[in-house]
Amino acid sequence: MATDLSKVMLEYARAKLVGRDGIEWRESDALKLPFEDQKFGAVVCGFGIMFVPDRQGALREARRVLTEGGILLFNVWDGIENNPHALANAEVVEAMFPDDPEMKFRMPYDMNDPDLLRRLLEGARFRETRIETKRIPIEGADPRSIAIGQIRGTPRSALIEKRGVSLDLVIEKVTDALTSTGGAPYRGHAQAVIVQALAI
C-alpha cells in the first residue's frame, strides 16, 4: 500500500514502478489514514513527516494502523548545515526574498534532534529501537539538475511564481551557488537521520 497526500507524487511513483504488481496506490492524508486500526505490520515514511503540520498526530495515526509490535521506519533530513546543497539553495532563495517568512524553507531540516524524536515517539506509543545518522556521498551530479529538483520539485515553485519571479532565474542562481559549493559536476553529501521504532 503506497500513499501520499499529492496525487502528482503518486503518479510519479507509479510511473517509476510500471510492471510491478501488488502495489495499491492511495491518495491520503498522514493525519487521517483511510485504514482500519491495526491493519499493518509495518509503516514506512520516506522524508515526509517533516512536512506534516502535526508531526505528533502523524505518528499517532501510524501507531493506530500498526499491530502491537509492528515496525515504524522513517527518515528525516539532518540539520541544514550538514546538507550543503540545501543550505546553498536556502541562502539563494532567502536572499532573493528577504524578510519573507514563507520563503524561509529550513523547516524540513529541524527535526533531527534525537531527544525530540524520542519524545515524539513516546507520545505516540512507540519504543525507539534505532536512531542513526547516515551520510550519503553525492558525486558526479549535475548542479542544474539538483537546482531544478529543489525549485520545481517543491512547493516553493508556486510561492516563487506567486511573487512574479521567473523559476528559471531562481534555478540559474541556485545552479551557480551549487557550482560554487561543490563544483560541476557537483560533489558533496546528503545527511539524514534514520529512525526505527516498535509499536507498544
82: Cβ contacts below 8 Å, ≥ 6 apart = 135, 191
Domains and CATH numbers, the chain: 31-199 (3.40.50.150)
CA atoms of 52 and 29, how far apart (whole Å): 9
C-alpha cell at 51: 512536512
**What is the reported pTM?**
0.89
- Please, how many CA atoms are within 13 Å of residue 155, restricted to the half-sphere of its CB? 10
For the stretch 132-185, pLDDT in tens is 999 999 999 999 999 999 999 887 899 999 999 999 999 999 999 999 999 999
Banded model confidence at residue 105, pLDDT cuts 50, 70, 90? confident
For the stretch 61-96, pLDDT in tens is 999 999 999 999 999 999 999 999 999 999 999 999
Q: What percent of the chain has pLDDT over 70?
A: 100
Largest CA distance in the chain: 51
